[in-house]
Each structure stands twice: as C-alpha cells, then as structure tokens.
A and B are shown apart, each in its own frame.
Chain A
Amino acid sequence: MSLPVGTPATPAAIASTTPPRTAERRTGRLLRVALPLVVLVVLAAVPLFVAPFGTSTLSRILIFALFAVSLDLLVGVTGLPSLGHAAYFGVGAYAAGLVAIHWTAEGVVPVLVAAAAGAVAAGATGWLAVRSGGVYFLMLTLAIGELVHQLAQSLASVTGGSNGLYGIPTVRIGGTPLTLPGYVYWFVLAVTGLGYLGLHLVASSPFGGVLRGIRDNEPRMRSLGYSPFRYKFAAFVIAGGFAGLAGGLFAAQVRLVTPSEAGFTTSALVLLAVILGGAGSLWGPILGAAVVVLVRDALGPDLDGHGPLLLGIVFVLAVYVLPRGFAGLRDLLRRRPSPGETP
C-alpha cells in the first residue's frame, strides 16, 4: 500500500532510462551466475589432473576461504572487525573431531555439529562483544579468542591439550571411508560451495542490506526503527556458524586439531585474507585466502620459518598497492568510481 503522495513518474520517463540498464543488468546477472558455475566445474575437475598434494593444498585453501568469507560478513558487511574469529573456527574443528572420534564420521554430521557449535559459541560470547564498538570490540574479540585458545590447551582430557586432537577418522559416505584424497577434496568442495552460497544469500538479502546500513550509519538505522544490537548479534552468530563449519571441514581434512587453530595467529591470518581480498565483497577474501594459504603452507617451509615475515611484507605491499584489496581491482578495471569512495 502506498500513500497517495504526489504524482508517480510518467511511464515515458521510466522507459527512457530503462533499456540500457536492463541490458547491462542482464549481462551482469549472467556473469554472476555463469562465472561461479565455471569456477565450480574447473575446481571439480582438479583431482583428475593434479597430484594429491595439489588437491590437498587446494582443500586447505577452500576451507580457509570459507572461513575468510564468514569473517567478511562481520568485517566487510557489518563493519565489525573481529580479532578473535578463529575461536569459532577452533570450536567447530574440535566439535567435528570429537564427534568423528566418539560418535560418527558419517558424511556431513560432524561438520553440521561443528557449524552448530560455532554458532552457539558465537551466541554465548557475541552478545557481550557486539554491545561494544571500535577498539573495545577489537579487545573483546581478542580476549574471546585467547580464552578459547587457553581452554583448548588446558582441557587436555577432552582436547588432547597442546598435542592436539589426533586420530580423527576419515569422512565416511554411506559407511565407506573416503580414502582417496580426491574424494575428500570433492566433499570439501561441495560443503564449502554450499557454505559460500549461504553466506552470499545472507549478504545479498534484505537482512544483509540492514547489516550494510548499520556499517554505514548506525544512528540513522536506529532512527529508522532498527535495533542495531539485534542485527549485529545475528550477524555475529551466523558468521560464527560458518566459521564453525569451516573448522569442521578442517578437522575432516587435516584430521588433527591443535589449540593454535583457535589462536591469535589464525585470527590474524584470516583477517589478513579478508583485507587482502577486499572487505565487503565476499569473493575477494577467497582470493586473499588463497594467497595467505599458499604463502604460509607452500612457501613457508622453504623460507626457514619466515613465512609470517613474508606474509607481513605481502600485507604491507597489498595495502599500499591495492587499498581496497583484490575486489578493488575490479573497480579499477571498470574505470568506475567505486561506491565506497566519497568525491
């Protein structure tokens, strides 16, 4: 129902502006659907052509990418830069590992439990964190991360302490263990693909629009009748859930979970991936995650443990050369002022 205010635009006025835009929108929509499908097909074909070591690295990238995208929902979409997001990744990883060891390694059960555990942990801690803003939010999330890290260390009877939780069985589908690395990779690809789709839907929904509104102008959202706290809390729980899902996949793929999975280094690395990729774009952090994992895992050992140093240098360069991350590159290529810029 619309109030009878003024006169609506004449049909002619609309028609004159519509055609070029729908054409542009159609190619845009085609790209948005076709490109992910092409990427998915290429990724699915990888085990047929690449050695197991390559697929295992790619699995780690996919998992870390889902983790990074879940953080982007907080950092880029809602404007909440968390320094402790690995807490929920770690909770998910331990939850999935424990379920697989003590109950069942069947299919998606451990990873779904991991997602639930991540969401519950985020709910239990987030109500405090999202009440604060700015530096206080940073400090609180940092503290939450350290708390979970310490718990993982000290609850040795459950988590294996600093030795880590090992002996996690391989994923089973219909009772058959997935022994080939290619199968595990496909499992990881399917779950991360669905996870990414889920986060994408959340970010592009009206709910996601509210989160962006809070990021841009929280007082105005309040005056429009929104309670920022509730939305920030919901975003925190959703992000925690997807981080838990990524953690569950980590446990299934690596089959060893250590306290450092929940620690500050992991939190910092995932934040690095988000910023490197371009916060707020969702797809940028996937590329950021790829760079971070490649530098850390693949190049790290060759550099006598100077991987973090190299990452730091990459980070400084990236922020200098690409202030808006990889996602900012696209706007440069289009030679269009990016929407975030003020004239």
Chain B
Amino acid sequence: MSAPLLSLSGISRHFGALKAVDDVSIDVPTGARHALIGPNGAGKSTLFRLVTGSMPVSSGTVTLGGSDITRLPEFRRARRGISQTLQHSSLFLSQTVQQNVLLAAQRQYGTRHAIVPREQAAARERARALLADVGLEGRAGTPVSALSHGERRQLEVAVALACQPRLLLLDEPAAGMSPAESARLVELLKSLPESVTVVIVEHDLEVVFALATSVTVLHLGRVLLTGSPDEVRASAAVQEAYLGTGRGSLFLDMAEPAHLEVS
C-alpha cells in the first residue's frame, strides 16, 4: 500500500455534550475507494465537514498528502485538491447547469480572475465532457432550479469532479437517484483514474460494495471497524450496531433500496 493521502488522527467534534465525532483515526491510501458507513446520526457528514474544513475540529489532526491541514481554512484545503458532494444538494440555483460546472472548472484553468470575457474554451470543453459523463448532456442551458432531484445529484457529481480533485468526498451521492442513474454513477466512479482517491458515504450498500476496496463503520461517532468489505459484512459488531437501530435488514437483504430511508 502506498502512503496515505488522507490521514485522520484522533479527530473529535463535540456539540455541547454530544460527541458527534469521537476520537476517529483513519488512513486513506492514495487511490483507495474507501466507504464510510454507519446508521443515521453516526457522524459521517460531520466527519466530512472536519476533513473539508467547513467545520473546525475540537481536537485531533487532519493530514493531506503528508502535510498538516488542520488549521487551513476551507478554501485553501479545496485548492489542495479536496472536493466534495454534499448530502443535501448545494448548487447555484439561479444559474444554468453549465455555469455551475464552469464555476468549479474555471478555477483549474486560471481564468477565474479574468475581468473581460475571454474564450474559456478549455474550461467549457471540460464542463461539456463532465456533463456528458454524468448524463446531463442535453441540459447544459437549463437553470438548476428546473432540474429534478436526481438530476441535481448528478450535477453535484459533475461539479465535484470539475475541481479535478485528489481527494473526492461523496456524501450519499446516490440518494434520490433512480436505479439506472445510480448504476451510471457507479460506472463513472469506477472509471475515475487512480490519481483520484474516493471516500464515499452511502446507505445504498449495493453501491458501497460495488465500489469500495475498504470500509470504515462509524457508530455514535466512533470507529467500530475498518476493514475489507468482506470483513465488514462478517462482523458481528457491525450487525449489532445496525440491529440496534432497527436497520439490521440492510445486511440481510441487500436488494432492498436502502436509500429510501434517507431523507
């Protein structure tokens, strides 16, 4: 295994008495497809916020590519190659699909400071290719406010990829997608080059086990287990965590559309 791209050591985040993330340590190697699963309220989204810097840690350190980024503001971390999709779509509603992707792409092409409109040919071409990849090729000129929920999720992925991330954090990207759309997403994520390291939070375990090379299970803010998909499936402790929340069926009947439970 190569050196970890992302290394979390003992990070915690408290909300008053609630320990949403409690002393979590995870190493994600470069090129990994790492899944983060756990029942509702386990702290998965909060953990992502600590990695992206949209929320400060209470304690612990976050290391990216060997350098400590715990004190860096969010936009600086993003420039070091962290990109994300959020659990609840966060897009630019008054703008078109293409403009949404361009905002992310133009930063990569150094045209963001351009004061006069110049041909953003490279950024536009990249945006067009990404929209085709996620299945929105006919929708470039549509305002985001007119997109369906599933289409917005697809656009989220295109925006996140337009940043050309080293580390891609996906928070329930398939939630609200149709089975066909989520199959397309899995294909797209599988086709990403090794230079992109992916960490995915997903309740749809079909998606998780189709992609993941390693899995971390969070429960009540703590790491229950990190291991290969098979180890996780076999673990009694994991079964119990899910059974405790009445969601044991997730592991017994994987065909069930688990993402319907997420709102």
Contact = CB atoms under 8 A, between A and B. Distances in A.
B234 interface: no
Contact of A205 (B76, B115, B143, B159): B115
B161 A204 contact: no
B200 to A, nearest CB: 16
A206 B120 contact: yes
B137 A206 contact: no
A207 B90 contact: no
A6 B187 contact: yes
Interface centre among A21, A204, A342 (most CB of B within 10 A): A342
A210 B115 contact: no
Interface string A208-236: 01101100110111111111000000000
Given A3-B164, A207-B115, A210-B112, A220 B91 contact: yes
Given A6-B188, A205-B115, A343-B146, A220 B107 contact: no
A340 interface: yes
A23 interface: no
B79 A225 contact: yes
B75 A206 contact: no
Contacts of A221: 103
Interface stretch (A8-16, A119-127, A141-149, A243-251): A8-16
Interface size class of B (residues with CB under 8 A): 35 or more
A27 B93 CA distance: 26
A7 interface: yes
A204 B125 CA distance: 19
Interface residues of A, number: 39
B197 to A, nearest CB: 13
Interface in B109-160: 111-118, 120, 125-126, 128-133, 137-138, 141, 143, 145-146, 159
A128 to B, nearest CB: 19
Contacts of A225: 75-76, 78-79, 107, 163
Interface in B40-87: 52, 54, 73-76, 78-79, 83-84, 86
Interface stretch (B10-18, B94-102, B208-216): B94-102
Contact of B113 (A5, A207, A223, A340): A207
Given A210-B112, A225-B107, A216 B191 contact: no
A92 B145 CA distance: 40
B193 interface: yes
Given A207-B115, A342-B145, A9 B137 contact: yes
A134 interface: no
B91 A217 contact: yes
B262 interface: no
A220 B92 contact: yes
B192 interface: yes
Contacts of A17: 137-138
Contacts of B86: 220
A5 B138 contact: no
B104 interface: yes
Contact of B103 (A3, A7, A201, A209): A209
Given A13-B137, A14-B137, A212-B95, A2 B78 contact: no
A175 interface: no
A17 to B, nearest CB: 6
B107 A224 contact: yes
B162 to A, nearest CB: 9
Given A207-B114, A220-B90, A339 B143 contact: yes
A217 to B, nearest CB: 5
Given A220-B90, A220-B92, A5 B116 contact: no
A5 B93 contact: no
A139 interface: no
9 contacts: A3-B193, A4-B191, A9-B129, A9-B131, A206-B106, A216-B94, A220-B90, A225-B76, A339-B94
Please name the 6 residue pairs, one residue from A and one from B, whose CB atoms are nearest each other, closest first.
A225-B78, A9-B132, A6-B133, A216-B92, A339-B143, A9-B137
